[in-house]
Chains A and B, each alone.
Chain A
Amino acid sequence: MADDAYNYAYLDEQTKRMIRRAILKAVAVPGYQVPFGGREMPLPYGWGTGGIQVTAAIIGRDDTLKVIDQGADDTTNAVSIRRFFAKVAEVATTTRTDEATVIQTRHRVPETPLREGQILVFQVPIPEPLRMLEPRETETRTLHALSEYGVMQVSLYESIARHGRISKGYNYPVMVNGRYIMSPSPIPKFDNPKLDRSPALQLYGAGREKRIYAVPPYTPVKSLDFDDHPFEIETWEQCCALCGSKESFLDEMIVDDDGKHLFVCSDTDYCERRRTLPEAAE
């Protein structure tokens, strides 16, 4: 016990077992949303309570945890989740993608390629990809059960009709293993290709709606599109102003009062490693 006040990794063993059962089911049916009896966590929703519960259920003392928020390890949110697990689960923490065994993330997939044995835990605000199109829960469940996904394609059609292209930049819907349409959480579509056949296990936890879903290693994940409007990721004319990367997702930063701006890597660990280790930058 880390402390008399709470169980190891904060959640009681019964709750962890229940979450693990949901995770196992989610892994067995890739992309399918498994309901679970979530616990109240010592954080408000929106801070990643779904992800935290998943992490709490899978973490052990041998793990090394990395927590990122929009690609950064040093935001208040990331720091407090990391500290929380260092305390209640007695785990080592890191900011390095290659050293971590469990990476809890909000809104990004690391640029550094993941490997077998790593687990990526996503914090999910809205798990249901069809929710904006179909508000009735019974109906969305039927649509998934019957693989009736015409309505999702309708929303992409509409986007092209309005904007001349599929304008969705975040939370871009994917087809998992040719069966279930899944919301990849609000990552930029730039990260979608990294989900496809990833060697790492992907677990998605939605705290408010109490859903868990998963993409097991090496599972096909296809971004939806049209033959004549194929899926494309964002590109930048600039490279990262700090590390010179041409391959990473860039954030725009205003650097002075004149409105001068720079583009820098959103993944802070990736950027830093490229700057400090010359071999990392080719």
Chain B
Amino acid sequence: MKPLLSARGLTKRFGARVACRDAAFDLWPGEVLGIVGESGSGKTTLLNCLAGRLTPEAGSVTYDSAAYGAVDVHDLSEARRRLLSRTEWGFVNQDAREGLRMGVSAGANIGERLMAVGARHYGDIRRTASDWLSRVEIERDRLDDRPTTYSGGMRQRLQIARNLVSEPRLVFMDEPTGGLDVSVQARILDLLRSLVGSLHLSAVLVTHDLGVARLLTHRLMVMQGGAVVEDGLTDQVLDDPQHAYTQMLVASILPV
């Protein structure tokens, strides 16, 4: 088996600040990898470098594409990278407003990826959008409503549907439940967990919430000040942290 995504020596600076230093890992098909760490530790920067949204100063990201075979994400033409990112990949933003078109209906939001790759049958697009709306537990009769009329939790679920409709193989998520009420969070986490399982998705999930990481991820990388200080199976890292920083994180956020 080949890794789906491999990072080697990824380094990204903002001016003099090194936001991400020498990150390396392999993501295997069907695996959910968590990136945890406190605010400012470089999680989002690393995620954006992986997804080709930021260009690192050093290092490489290799993706095993279904359409093109193994490709270097940062060597791809912009055209091909954008095509990959709306067919084989998904990206779920913390702020659903950044990941959605707020001015058009939920149906149009979900249908966009289908239309972008050539779907031209309105009825079929609408049916697929409606099915996805119900899969993310939103009433089908909200299909023609704009996301501005949705609650925060519904928007996040709509964003998930908009990404998954193209049946991506790899989904990047940046704090997908951040800023939501605890009960709303729990519902989205359950939903994500069942979708990841039923669609055999691979995912890289950024979160500062170790509870979220525990629930959704198989493996964890712990970041501090731009560096990965510990990685391993999620349960191992959380139950028996080796690095002092991880011990501190676990102690403060998961009181026994």
Cβ–Cβ contact B108 & A161, under 8 A:
yes
Cβ–Cβ contact B108 & A154, under 8 A:
yes
**A155–B125 alpha-carbon span in the complex (Å):** 13
| 10 shortest interchain CB distances as A-B pairs | A150-B116, A153-B115, A226-B122, A146-B79, A158-B104, A227-B121, A150-B115, A158-B108, A154-B108, A157-B108
Cβ–Cβ contact A229 & B122, under 8 A:
yes
* Given A151-B116, A158-B108, 9 additional A-B pairs, CB 8 A: A142-B78, A146-B82, A148-B82, A150-B86, A150-B116, A153-B116, A157-B111, A226-B122, A228-B122
Cβ–Cβ contact A161 & B107, under 8 A:
yes
Residues on A with C-beta less than 8 A from B121 are 226-228
Q: Whole-angstrom distance from the CB of B194 to the nearest CB of chain A?
A: 28
Is B101 positioned at the interface, with any CB of A under 8 Å from its CB?
yes
Residues on A with C-beta less than 8 A from B104 are 154-155, 157-158
The main secondary structure of chain B at its interface with chain A is helix
**A157–B116 alpha-carbon span in the complex (Å):** 12
Cβ–Cβ contact B116 & A148, under 8 A:
yes
Instruction: Say which residue of A145, A151, A162, A227 sits within 8 Å of B120 (CB atoms).
Output: A227
Residues on A with C-beta less than 8 A from B115 are 150, 153-154, 157
Is B113 positioned at the interface, with any CB of A under 8 Å from its CB?
yes
Q: B71-94 toward A: CB 8 Å interface, digit per residue (1/0)?
A: 000000011001000100000000
**A225–B112 alpha-carbon span in the complex (Å):** 15
Cβ–Cβ contact A146 & B78, under 8 A:
yes
Is A233 positioned at the interface, with any CB of B under 8 Å from its CB?
no
Cβ–Cβ contact B144 & A154, under 8 A:
no
Contact (A150, B82) CB under 8 Å given A161-B144, A228-B122 = no
Is A1 positioned at the interface, with any CB of B under 8 Å from its CB?
no
Specify the chain A residue showing the minimal Cβ separation from B125.
Answer: A157
Most chain B CB within a 10 A radius of its CB, from A142, A146, A155, A161: A161
Cβ–Cβ contact B111 & A228, under 8 A:
no
Residues on A with C-beta less than 8 A from B101 are 154
Residues on B with C-beta less than 8 A from A226 are 120-122
Residues in chain B within 8 A of chain A (CB atoms): 78-79, 82, 86, 101, 104-105, 107-108, 111-113, 115-117, 120-123, 125-126, 143-144
Residues on B with C-beta less than 8 A from A229 are 122
Q: Whole-angstrom distance from the CB of B127 to the nearest CB of chain A?
A: 11
Residues on B with C-beta less than 8 A from A253 are none
The size of the chain A interface, using a CB distance under 8 A, is 20
Q: A142-174 toward B: CB 8 Å interface, digit per residue (1/0)?
A: 100110111101110110111000000000000
Cβ–Cβ contact B144 & A162, under 8 A:
yes
Most chain A CB within a 10 A radius of its CB, from B82, B105, B108, B125: B108
Contact (A228, B123) CB under 8 Å given A146-B79, A155-B104, A162-B144 = yes
Q: Whole-angstrom distance from the CB of A178 to the nearest CB of chain B?
A: 13
Residues on A with C-beta less than 8 A from B123 are 228
Residues on A with C-beta less than 8 A from B117 are 150
Specify the chain A residue showing the minimal Cβ separation from B115.
Answer: A153
Contact (A154, B112) CB under 8 Å given A162-B144, A226-B122, A228-B123 = yes
A-B contact pairs, 13 of them (CB 8 A): A150-B115, A151-B112, A151-B116, A154-B101, A154-B108, A154-B115, A157-B115, A161-B108, A162-B144, A225-B120, A226-B122, A227-B121, A228-B121
**A218–B107 alpha-carbon span in the complex (Å):** 37
Cβ–Cβ contact A161 & B120, under 8 A:
no
**A84–B104 alpha-carbon span in the complex (Å):** 45
Specify the chain A residue showing the minimal Cβ separation from B123.
Answer: A228
Cβ–Cβ contact B113 & A161, under 8 A:
no
**A199–B161 alpha-carbon span in the complex (Å):** 47
**A158–B123 alpha-carbon span in the complex (Å):** 12
Cβ–Cβ contact A154 & B111, under 8 A:
yes
Most chain A CB within a 10 A radius of its CB, from B104, B107, B116: B104
**A145–B125 alpha-carbon span in the complex (Å):** 26
Most chain A CB within a 10 A radius of its CB, from B112, B115, B125: B115
